[in-house]
Chain A
Amino acid sequence: MFPKTLRVTSNAARFIRAKSNLDTVVQFEWEDGQPGLDTWGNVNFILAETLRAQYEVKNIVRLEFRGIPDTAGECSITAEILAKNPVRLNPVRKILKARKPATRQSAKETVPFVIDDLLDRFPGLDERDKKMLSAFNTLPLPRRIYFWQKFIAPYFQ
């Protein structure tokens, strides 16, 4: 999971060297959890969001995790990636567009308390949603990134 200390923004990335007229190496730095499948997913998410159509998993040329002492396994991460010039760095999309505003509840209103939601790994999702989530999460990473960029990300801003 992303820790609160996540610092990646488009201005945290910097160009470190140009390679011929075609490729530039862009360096990103941020903090996340210990190396694992989830942090690998996050690495790709951050790079794909920032570089958008320029991003390809195979173009990462260096990925470094450095454990931070005195933390519960947090790491500082450096990623360097080749990108074709001109490179445009985009912000990570965070908020769903046209999200329904939360409605205020009356003090007298009774809110049903569903104990199953506390035990459920997927609270708020029905069977169809769970099936879609599972299908999405088991796609190979490049496909998952492609799917995100093409079908889901446009609904975020």
Chain B
Amino acid sequence: MRVVTIENFGTLGPDFEGHEGYIYEGDAWLLRFTIKSPEHFFANELRNLCEVLGLNLPQIYQMTLYGGGRGLYDARLHISFETPPKDNQIEQLRIALAASSPSDYEDDELDSRFREFLKTTTPAIKSKVEKALQQEELNVSKDTQSD
């Protein structure tokens, strides 16, 4: 299937001045695979896939992950390639990524709300939350050791 993305569709008038936008054309590929954990996929594997295949994220024009009540695992990526990938690039996607450091969610909504909370809360509440956070870190550490 040929994928054609048209910028400024139906918007240019006869008096239009400036940049008309681009038309991107590519061949649609469907990549199917299973993932071990959505967290690892979003933190590491998706970025690696883009690097290996030489993609910009918007070229993945549709991505669906399915699960059956035990977590998401079945991934379907629809990708528009301007230059189709080579076999060795596809093969490279099977290589396991080195164990990474814990995922750092530094720009999501929870991060911004926690920042706001820290800036405005009272010292007493902050101390209570700090203690709970330390306990949570201990729990995670224990879980990791038992794994």
Contact = CB atoms under 8 A, between A and B. Distances in A.
Interface of A: 1-2, 23, 34-42, 45-46, 57-67, 69-70, 73, 82, 96, 99-100, 122, 124-125, 128-129, 132-141, 143-145, 147-148, 150-152, 155-156
Interface stretch (B26-34, B84-92, B99-107): B99-107
Nearest to A40: B42
Contacts of A155: 117, 121, 125
Given A125-B119, A129-B115, A135-B134, 12 more contacts: A34-B57, A35-B60, A37-B42, A37-B104, A38-B108, A46-B109, A58-B67, A60-B72, A61-B69, A62-B64, A64-B65, A65-B60
B60 A67 contact: yes
Interface centre among B72, B105, B115 (most CB of A within 10 A): B105
B58 A67 contact: yes
Interface of B: 5-9, 21, 38-39, 42-43, 46-47, 57-58, 60-72, 102-121, 125-126, 128-130, 132-134, 136-137, 139-140
A69 B7 contact: yes
B62 A67 contact: yes
Contacts of B103: 37, 138, 140-141
A150 B135 CA distance: 13
A34 B117 CA distance: 26
26 contacts: A1-B107, A34-B58, A35-B60, A36-B46, A36-B57, A38-B107, A39-B108, A40-B38, A61-B66, A62-B67, A63-B38, A64-B64, A67-B58, A67-B62, A69-B9, A122-B115, A125-B119, A132-B133, A133-B115, A135-B133, A139-B102, A139-B136, A140-B102, A141-B39, A144-B105, A152-B129
Contacts, number: 173
B140 A140 contact: yes
A45 B115 contact: no
Contacts of A99: 120
